[in-house]
Structure formats: C-alpha cells, structure tokens
C-alpha cells in the first residue's frame, strides 16, 4: 500500500453522478403520467419496477462516486466500488493510449460522407479530441484505466506518461543504439530502420511522417502515396516512447524533455 498522500486525484465529474439517477427519474415521470390516467401505482408491477429503477440508480451513483485514480510518489492507484489496485512506477510494463477526434466522432454519424470525413480526420494529427483513454499495465498484468470522463484527466495522463516514459525511453534508447531490436507490439525498431510485422525495414531517413493522425498510428515513407502503417494507436504499446525514438533516429539527436511527442498529443 502506498504511504505517500496522493499528489493528484481524479474521478468522475458531478454530471455523471447526477445522470446515474436518470432511471429513477424516468420511472417517476412515467408513474406520474400513469397516475394521471388513473393507474394504480400500488400494483406489484409498478412497485417492483420502481424498486428496480431506484436500486439501479443508487448502484450507478455509488459506482461513479467511488471511482478514483490517484498519482502517488510511489506509483499510480485506482480505487472503486469493487476494490483497489496499485502499480508502482518501476513495475509499469506498458501504457496503451487511444483517442478519437471530434471530427471523426461527428463524421461517423453521417453515412458515406461521414466515412470520408472520418478518413480525412484520421490523417491529421491535430483537432479537438472527442475521447481519450489511457491504460496502464503492470508487470503482473494488472491494469488501471483513465479516460476523458474523469475530471482533470489530461493533467493526470501527462503525469503518468512522463513518469513512465522517463524510465522506459533511456532503456529502449540504450538497447537500440547498442544494435539491439526494440519491440512495440508488431512495430520493431533497429539500427536498420522501422519494421512492421515481417516486412523489410524502412530506413529512418526515408520516413516522411511518423506520428498519430486522428485515431491511428501512422508511418509514411518519402515519395509514397499510401501509408506504410496506419493502425489504431492503441495497438502500439508505449506509443510515445516509439515515436520519440523514431524522431531521435531520424534527426540523430536526443530529444529534450520538453520535446516529447506526448506533449503534442496530450497537451
């Protein structure tokens, strides 16, 4: 159990805890209409449905009220209705980041035109985020999840990524510069370049773009129309470490702390 007090804490916002009472409020509204139509609200069906809606709302309120992610000096902690979990910084195996831009979310609701809008949005790195999710995975497989539904999620995401990446980046950099192969899921980095799955490596100098566009992790070679890689960003573990290493190898230098790709995506 972590001894230090939490440096930063976030939980679900008030609006979500209020929305938890929607089932009960909906039952009251329907019951009021039925009462006006001379329905007998003392019938077992009405009483049972009322108790069920009230119970569901109470459960949801407790679930959302107790959900909390906190940052400690020792690591990251999660507490909720069904228990607690702690992952020390030194035992974080990987992070998995996921995002959907507002343009993609809107485009997904408008058929073929929406698909074209979403596809165009996925090729752009900027744009307002409709949703952001970060999963922290420990060495034992334990997971802690954080999303934009949590108040102050951006600051907490930045803190988590900064603490985890400041340990992982030097480790991966040393292995890479010593001639080793660094793996990020199906993405592999070596002195020969970037390898995706079993394809031939692409030299770092031949990359035109490497980054997150919309909800995808993208790699594009110079002179090529199609992307070499375009997959959901969540499929690349420690994606910001991978992007920082690719940038360092392309530019033959070590990035300063304020130049991390994470700061551009989770501003």
pLDDT reported for residue 243? 97
Could you give the CA distance from residue 224 to residue 60 in angstroms, rounded to a whole number? Answer: 50
Q: Burial level of 89, CB count in 10 A (0-12/13-18/19+)?
A: middle
- Residues 149-164 have a mean pLDDT of 93
Q: Burial level of 212, CB count in 10 A (0-12/13-18/19+)?
A: buried
pLDDT reported for residue 111? 52
Top mean-pLDDT range of 46-50, 90-94, 210-214: 90-94
In tens, the pLDDT along 30-56 reads: 988 887 776 777 788 888 999 999 999
Top mean-pLDDT range of 12-26, 36-50, 171-185: 171-185
Percent of the chain with pLDDT over 90: 73
pLDDT reported for residue 38? 65
The answer to whether the beta carbons of residues 246 and 259 sit under 8 Å apart is no
Asked whether the predicted pLDDT for residue 121 surpasses 80, the reply is no
| Report field, pTM of the whole predicted structure over 0.85 | no
Asked whether the predicted pLDDT for residue 27 surpasses 50, the reply is yes
């Amino acid at each position: 159990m972590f001894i230090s007090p939490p440096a930063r804490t976030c939980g679900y916002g008030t609006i979500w805890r209020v929305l938890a009472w929607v089932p009960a409020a909906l039952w009251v509204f329907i019951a009021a209409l039925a009462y006006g139509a001379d329905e007998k609200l003392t019938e077992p069906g009405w009483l049972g449905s009322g108790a069920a809606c009230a119970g569901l709302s109470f459960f949801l309120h407790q679930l959302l009220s107790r959900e909390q992610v906190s940052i400690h000096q020792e690591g990251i902690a999660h507490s909720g209705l069904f228990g607690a979990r702690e992952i020390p910084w030194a035992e974080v195996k990987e992070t998995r980041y996921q995002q959907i831009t507002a343009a993609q979310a809107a485009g997904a609701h408008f058929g073929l035109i929406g698909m074209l809008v979403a596809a165009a949005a996925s090729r752009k790195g900027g744009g307002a985020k409709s949703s952001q999710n970060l999963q922290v995975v420990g060495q034992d497989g334990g997971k802690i999840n954080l999303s934009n539904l949590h108040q102050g999620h951006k600051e907490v995401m930045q803190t988590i990524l900064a603490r985890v990446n400041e340990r992982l980046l030097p480790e991966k950099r040393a292995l890479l510069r010593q001639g080793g192969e660094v793996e990020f899921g199906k993405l592999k980095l070596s002195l020969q370049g970037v390898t995706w799955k079993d394809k031939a490596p692409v030299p770092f100098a031949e990359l035109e773009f490497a980054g997150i566009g919309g909800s995808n992790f993208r790699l594009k070679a110079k002179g090529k129309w199609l992307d070499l890689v375009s997959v959901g960003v969540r499929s690349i573990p420690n994606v910001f470490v991978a992007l920082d290493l690719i940038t360092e190898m392309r530019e033959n230098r070590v990035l300063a702390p304020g130049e991390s790709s994470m700061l551009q995506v989770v501003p």
